[in-house]
A and B are shown apart, each in its own frame.
Chain A
Amino acid sequence: MNENQKEKFIITVKSNTKDLYAFTKLVPTRKKKFKEAPSNPISEDKINDLAKLLHPNTQHLIINEIKDETKSTKTFKFIPDLDSNTKELAYFRAGQYLSLKVDVNGVYITRPYSISSSPLEALKGFYEITIKRDEQGFLTNYIWKNWKVGTKIMSSGPEGFFYHEPLRDTKNIVGIAGGSGITPFRSMARAIIEGTMDAKLTILYGSSEQDDIIFYDEFKDLESRYPEKIKVIHVLSCENPTLEGCEKGFITSDLIRKYSDIKNSTYFICGPQIMYQFLEKEIANLNLKPKQVRREAFGEIKDLSKLEGFPKDLMEKTFKIKVQIGNLVKEIPAVSTESVLVALERAKLAPPSKCRSGECGFCRSLLISGNIYVSPISDWRRAADKKYNFFHPCSSYPLSDLEIVVPRNPK
């Protein structure tokens, strides 16, 4: 039997007539359903409401208390600015950061700061941020001079991936902290004690001298009250440390081995860039699995000259960047050793940004022409973004004149 002679199969679902009738009823059924439906507008969207609560675009905060921690460190306590539309604070996972947006004499700049208070304290209505003053730092000097109780600050929602993830991490958390890198571990310690984080925390905390240790008394108290949950080992790099029980020098692989179970721990590293560089070699000695090591993003690269691939002959060169942002087109100066983001901020073009480490992609922009340097240690671009010349200004440095398109700040 050839194809043409083969009789076509015709389906019967109910009966020939009923099936065709059902087809003719499709449109009337639809129209009837529409006609009979209620005509009230939908005003509720609980899923988006919860999304906004957990991930607010902006949180309007107000400084409620300032506490001196060391001679160069202060803890700022923030509560919601009830005059704004921030009525409650977003919950978070201990270790996450807030990107604060600060108006410094008309120039908006952002900085990521780890939250040093606990998740439940956010529910109670406050966040704490602990900041160490950097003598050369542009922003911290401004903060020391200007931030007072009552000062209003804009913040992002809680951000970042530097938190204990029970599905991935062991319950033995080893914090490796340097200087103000202790702040997320204070949040974790509090989270463990309040019960929002199920883990044991050992902190190897490097400071130059005893006076620089942040939260010394607080951790001492936690250790004595919860010895099975919290332990802090101070590592002092000064000549003759007198602190009882401290380790001398730097956090080495030997020290890490001495205080933790290498096979059964997860290591969280947070500190200044220089500490990361030192630790990479030490960590390599330990033969840890990549999953055992979590690194907090360390912010913008401070010293480009040390990085591989950065053309030394272009250090400190000034270039022009033609920027398109919305309808505005402007040419601005930029130095090769400062990120494109900094050049944009200085020009008051306030691009959106959060992590300043290349990681979050919030500042993602389009490179129309020119060359940029992106350090392999802070290159978190998507593969297709590289293919199509999108880049993250916070981790990119101009190596020629550039033409770029920058997104406007979301409101």
Chain B
Amino acid sequence: MYRDHQKINDSYDVVVIGAGNGGLSAATELAKKGVKTLLLEQHNLPGGFATSFVRGRFEFETSLHELNGWGTEEDRGSVRRLLEGRYGLDLEFVPIPEAYRLIITDPNEKLDVTMPFGVDNYIRAIEEEVPGSEDSLRKFFDIAQEISDAFVYFGKTKGNPDQKVLMKEYTNFLKTAAYTADDIESALNMPKKARDILNAYWCYLGLPTNRINFTIFAMMILSYITHGAYIPKMRSHEFTTALDKKIRELGGRIEYNTKVEKILVKKSKVVGVETSQGDIINTNYVISNASPTLVYNKLIHPKSEVPEMAYKEVNARIHGLSAFVVYLGLDASPRDLGINEYSYFIMENSDTAKAYDSWTTLQVPIGQATVCLNNALPDCSPPGTTILYITTLFRPEAWYDVKQEEYFKIKNKIALGLIKQFESAIGTNIMDNIEEIEVATPITFARYTKSYNGNVYGYEPEPWDSVLTRFMCMNDEKYIDGLEFAGGFGRRCHGYSSTLVSGNMAAQLIYYEMVKRGEAK
């Protein structure tokens, strides 16, 4: 009988579906504005991919390697301004000591460089390794800065830029917008080896340099290299839980273990949601942290309210990658293990398209991004121990035919291959020091987030589906009145910083609609 009394059959101004970074950020902004907000999450934790888990003496970060957009006290980045400044969270972030160490193991290409933060230092380090690359790198960063400035200008003009100003001040932004990273690096005559070093961050966006849109690629590199990278002291669970508490404090409401089963739509307008708990909630506005893929194919009810174009849109876009992570708690210190850097990118060769291809089959991938948490956070685990995560990516299709009884063996085989790859690249012994190990696959990410196909990265930002194009088309691609998207499938594409900012933006857009209709002050 109590089950019925627990039901939430109320009305809310806005229902936010999913407490990932985007949903949490959206709900916080709305609650802050005094909007009656309900945040529903199917899992029993906030964060989506941004969380942590405990095994033995270790608390592991689930997915964050490093956050751009935090910055220093004096020069605060967009995420810091949002979380600390706007949302008033009290968080402790620590800087990552170096940008990355890139190791390419192919004997013909052999490369092992450790890169510093700061544009000048960064360019100097590449120039030392690859004499004659400075000019092209300098141009790369100048263009990246111009792109970043162009987005600020877009913001200032509320998305209605003066074409003349664009043409005059932001020519490089316009001229590079339709191209890939490879296109621009070639046009800049950047030496091959310098490109390999610069491209190391490509795996954070997860599509090869011959497909990744230059705009988003350049902005990401610029953000990391100019402002450095940071991580939260208590893993991502710290800021996601801080957001949870802030939402409640501001009068918003959060319900975990509550999966939205239907978004009720009438005459192309959102009218409510129905949940797995049997709640029927009236609302005119929904911000979905769940992808358009799930919303259009599964959630909108009745199906007749889904326009044909929405299906086409989802089918046209390229669903991105899922991840594979080996979480290791080791019983020796990083120093004993000879692990001196925080962030490692290890590639068999420099061909990013080949690495991407290796993610389409069920084999040990030929690239990994590995983090040693202790090298930014010495106290993250007990003295004499180390937390190490080895991350690689997979196309979900690679896992389609796995039978449940083969699953554990397959994931261990891949995990072993990745550990061996790391051991041989660094010259260390991991296997004898494993105290705790957990291996997450696309299936694991699906289990906890219910993301379509275990997708971790959103739609792939090729030039026609990158940040800029998504913004330019935002008004044409609204099929349901009162529905907005936040998170990795949203307008700013994936990544921690993007999703936190996109959540805020979705909230601003909904609020703007409400004010326009006299539903909010």
Contact = CB atoms under 8 A, between A and B. Distances in A.
Contacts of A325: 2, 6
A355 to B, nearest CB: 12
Contact of A168 (B179, B276, B434): B434
A11 B175 contact: yes
B58 to A, nearest CB: 11
B404 A326 contact: no
Main secondary structure of the interface of A (DSSP, over half): loop
Contacts of B431: 167
B52 A382 contact: yes
Contact of B435 (A33, A161, A291): A291
Contact of B257 (A16, A33, A40, A408): A408
B399 A326 contact: no
Interface residues of A, number: 77
Interface string A90-133: 11010000000000000000000000000110010000000000
Contacts of B245: 388
Contact of A47 (B258, B259, B314, B399): B399
Contact of B437 (A54, A167, A411): A167
A23 interface: yes
Contacts of B45: 361, 364
Contact of A50 (B259, B311, B402, B465): B402
Contacts, number: 248
Contacts of A39: 308, 311-312, 315
B331 to A, nearest CB: 5
A85 B241 CA distance: 35
Contacts of A51: 443-444, 446-447, 454
Contacts of A165: 437
Contacts of B171: 8, 10
Contacts of A53: 404
Contacts of B312: 34-35, 37-39
Contact of A13 (B184, B242, B308, B311): B184
B238 A387 contact: yes
B56 interface: yes
A47 B177 contact: no
A45 interface: yes
Contacts of B8: 326-327
A25 B402 CA distance: 41
Interface string B449-460: 010111000000
B315 A327 contact: no
B453 A48 contact: yes
Main secondary structure of the interface of B (DSSP, over half): helix
Given A91-B405, A382-B54, A384-B235, A168 B437 contact: yes
Contacts of B53: 361, 382
Contact of A410 (B42, B442, B464): B42
B407 interface: yes
A219 interface: no
B430 to A, nearest CB: 10
A123 B468 CA distance: 50
Contacts of A19: 174-176, 178-179
A329 B185 CA distance: 61
B129 interface: no
Interface in A10-64: 10-13, 16, 19-20, 22-23, 25-27, 29-31, 33-43, 45-48, 50-51, 53-55
A376 interface: no
B464 A29 contact: yes
Contact of A9 (B139, B235, B463): B139
Nearest to A362: B44
Interface in B243-300: 244-245, 255-259, 276-277, 279, 293, 296-297
Nearest to A38: B315
Contact of A43 (B172, B256, B297, B435): B297
B238 A20 contact: no
A349 interface: yes
A325 B3 CA distance: 9
B192 interface: no
Given A50-B404, A382-B52, A388-B245, A290 B435 contact: yes
B64 to A, nearest CB: 13
B257 A410 contact: yes
B234 interface: yes
Interface string A350-393: 10100000000110100000000000000011111101101000
B55 interface: yes
A37 B405 contact: no
Contacts of A119: 405
A312 interface: no
Nearest to B237: A384
B405 A328 contact: no
Given A39-B315, A54-B407, A119-B405, A384 B241 contact: yes
A382 B235 contact: yes
A26 B309 CA distance: 19
Q: Which of B6, B53, B234, B396 has the most CB of A within 10 A?
A: B6
B322 interface: yes
A390 B175 contact: no
B139 A11 contact: yes
Contacts of B444: 51
A328 B9 CA distance: 12
Contact of A48 (B258, B308, B454, B465): B454
A50 B443 CA distance: 7
Contact of B188 (A11, A48, A290, A383): A11
A407 interface: yes
Interface in B433-490: 433-437, 442-444, 446-447, 450, 452-454, 463-465, 468-469, 472-473, 476
Contacts of A120: 405
B188 A407 contact: no
A349 B464 CA distance: 51
Contacts of A407: 44, 255-257
A77 B297 CA distance: 40
B464 A12 contact: no
Contacts of A34: 309, 312-313, 316
A168 B436 contact: yes
Interface string B312-343: 11111000001000000001000000000000
Contacts of B56: 290
A86 to B, nearest CB: 14
B44 A410 contact: yes
Nearest to A352: B257
B412 interface: yes
Contact of B443 (A38, A54, A327, A411): A54
A390 B316 CA distance: 42
A1 B101 CA distance: 37
Contact of A40 (B9, B311, B331): B311
B407 A91 contact: yes
A9 to B, nearest CB: 6
A37 B313 contact: yes
11 contacts: A9-B142, A34-B309, A37-B316, A45-B452, A50-B402, A50-B446, A167-B419, A167-B431, A382-B237, A384-B237, A410-B276
Interface of B: 1-3, 5-10, 42, 44-45, 52-57, 59, 139, 142-143, 171-172, 174-179, 183-184, 187-188, 234-235, 237-238, 241-242, 244-245, 255-259, 276-277, 279, 293, 296-297, 303, 306, 308-309, 311-316, 322, 331, 396, 399-400, 402, 404-405, 407-408, 412, 415-416, 419, 431, 433-437, 442-444, 446-447, 450, 452-454, 463-465, 468-469, 472-473, 476
Interface of A: 8-13, 16, 19-20, 22-23, 25-27, 29-31, 33-43, 45-48, 50-51, 53-55, 90-91, 93, 119-120, 123, 161, 165-168, 289-291, 325-328, 330, 348-350, 352, 361-362, 364, 380-385, 387-388, 390, 407-411
Given A290-B435, A380-B54, A409-B257, 18 more contacts: A23-B175, A26-B177, A27-B469, A30-B469, A34-B316, A39-B308, A41-B297, A45-B446, A47-B322, A47-B443, A48-B454, A55-B447, A167-B419, A327-B6, A349-B2, A362-B44, A383-B234, A387-B238
